[in-house]
Structure 1
Amino acid sequence: MKAFITLLFLIFSLQNFAQNISGQAYYQSKNALDFDVSDTKSQLSEDVKKTILDGMKSMLENTFILTFNKEESIYREEEKLDANPAYAGMKMMMGSFMPGPMYKNLKTGKMLEENEFFGKQFLVTDTIQKLDWKLEKESKQIGQYVVFKATAIKKIDPNDFLMARPKKKDSSANEAKDEKEKNADNKKNEIPDPMDMIEIPEEIEITAWYTPQIPVSNGPGEYGGLPGLIMELSFYKTTILCSKIVMNPKAAEKIEAPKKGKEVSREEYTKIVKEKTEELRENFRNMGGRRGSGF
């Protein structure tokens, strides 16, 4: 109860300070990777399997910078040198599903996102999604900031491949697998469909930790809507943690709405991704079916 009273006091006392606030927040994004490549039927060597796992881990651990003021922000991945050229192909493939620089205008509720999808540039227009946050009384310390807990449930688009994770093993799945293996004598060399090994949840629970000491209703990526900057975010095996904040920096990226790419709505872009993914999946099936013919 004491922490919650402190929260209310901070919100009230910092309202005037918020009018001219600006800053940069650095976030480390990490994903728990529990994908067992050994479960696949492909004839991959152990070295190749390790390369795949290391590459996926490298792709999923990134640093992002949120440059913000009271009403606007731009969120982009920090540029870094590719330490392992062996992951170049995988990075190009996964990069097609990774969002680019994201601009948010809290006053208008508008969001713009630059995306490059298989060599084509798109400017995705959207509205900032408003989550039904539940403010909790629990608090803790992150660096010099007091943060408070908030939770919400978010519906997931079935074509949001950023939320894809390996399918969980269960008894029914194992029974189906055994049955399939009994009738697979003529398919020993068939390459497995990667889409059969992943799943996308219908909804996820989001836990955020925000600080009223930085009274901007913003946070990493598309997230915000709380009475303070989000310092930590966790959902579906992903954790995004703020590692550094620079308030009122003298030299910072100018916050401007992106303009690069063909302008499409979120619905239109989702349709494009779905159709292209189905095309790639079909090509993969055909390639697997002709493995013996040299494809």
Structure 2
Amino acid sequence: MKKYSLIYIVAVLFGVNQIFAQITSGKILYNVSMEDYYNKNVKEKEASPQLEKMHRMTADAAKNIQLELIFNQEQSIFQHQKGLSISDFKELDEFVKYLIAKGVYFTNLTKGKQILQTSYEGRKYNVRSEITKQDWTLTKEKKEFEKFICNKAVLVKEIAGKNREIIAWYAPEIPVSFGPVDYVGNLPGLILELKLPIATYTAGKIELNPKKDIKIDWPKDIDTMTEEEYKKEGDKVKARLDEGW
């Protein structure tokens, strides 16, 4: 009897592993929190009442943001849910959305490339970049997200001239190296929570292997430039604005 029980357990475990190994596509909805950013800028810096109000409005607006990641085995798209209004002020909407994600992120793991499709002054840009190796530290710490056991990874990255700690919780059971914004191609599993200095992205709804095939079209027919070229364009715009003042 014990022999048959052991065979049954092994068969079940093998079947579960096979299911996870066959994950080839999916849709993830991420919720956003800026509470840590709010606390750091208000409580630690003793902000004025006016500045505290602005940070509070920004953090409250972020609570209404949802971002969608869709992926197959090779490619993904990460973007704001279309048509989503997050506050009563259009200008605040646009500001907070830009803080959270600067546009639509297209990733191709096979080619090792990413395109950020963004816009400025009514003109759309495709900003092309290479997926580079990041020096993540993989830890043994684990926690559960939506029934998936995730491992913690830590990255120290220079942001605005200071070393900042980035924390990712990734799911090895979902064996694709995608995640929010440009954190892709480096971890052995899908990132279900990403904590950046500006915001924390946490997976809320997870749909794996949907019945309808996920096809991703690489963006075309829009001016494409490198990150360096895009920065130069931004510097030109800033110079024009400075002259206007």
Q: Please give the TM-score of this superposition, normalised by the length of structure 2.
A: 0.77
Structure 2 partner of 1:259? 220
Q: Distance in 1 between matches of 2:106 and 2:188?
A: 20
Task: Decide whether the 8 Å contact of 1:96 with 1:116 is kept in 2.
Answer: no
Distance 1:261 1:90 in 2: 27
Is the contact between residue 212 and residue 229 of structure 1 (CA under 8 Å) also seen in structure 2? yes
In 2, Cα distance between equivalents of 1:127 and 1:271: 18
1:16 Cα deviation after fit: 9.1
| Alpha-carbon distance in structure 2 between the residues aligned to 1:153 and 1:238 | 16
Query: Equivalent residue for 1:88?
Result: 90
How far is 1:134 from its partner? 1.1
Cα separation, 2, equivalents of 1:96 and 1:26:
18
Could you tell me how far 1:248 is from its partner in structure 2?
A: 0.8
Change (3 A) 1:258 1:80: same
What amino acid does structure 2 have at the position aligned with 1:113? Answer: L
- In the alignment, the residues of structure 2 paired with residue 259 and residue 234 of structure 1 have an alpha-carbon distance, to the nearest angstrom, of 31
What aligned pairs does 1:188-203 form with structure 2 within 5 A after superposition?
200-203=160-163
From 164, 167, 181, give the equivalent of 1:207.
167
Q: Please name the residue that 2:157 is paired with.
A: 154
Once the two structures are TM-superposed, the CA of residue 242 in structure 1 deviates from its matched residue by 0.8
Report the counterpart of residue 109 of structure 2 in structure 1.
Answer: 106
The question of whether the paired residues in 2 share the 8 Å contact of 1:115 and 1:121 is answered with: yes
CA distance in 1, matches of 2:18, 2:171: 13
Query: What is the CA–CA distance in structure 1 between the aligned matches of 2:23 and 2:214, rounded to whole Å?
Result: 17
- Between the aligned partners of 1:243 and 1:201, the Cα distance in structure 2 is 32
Name the count of aligned residue pairs: 220
Kept after mapping to 2: 8 A contact 1:23/1:67: yes
For residues 188-233 of structure 1, the C-alpha deviation after alignment (integer angstroms, 9 at most, x for no partner) is xxxxxxxxxxxx3433221111111101111111113111111111
Match of 2:9 in 1: none
- Deviation larger for 102-111 or 28-37: 28-37
Give the direction of change, closer, same or farther, for the CA distance of 1:260–1:59 in structure 2 (3 Å limit). Answer: farther
Alpha-carbon offset, residue 76 of structure 1: 0.9
Q: 2:29 aligns with which of 26, 31, 40?
A: 26
TM-score by length of 1: 0.65
Change (3 A) 1:99 1:15: farther
Counterpart residue number, 2:232 = 271
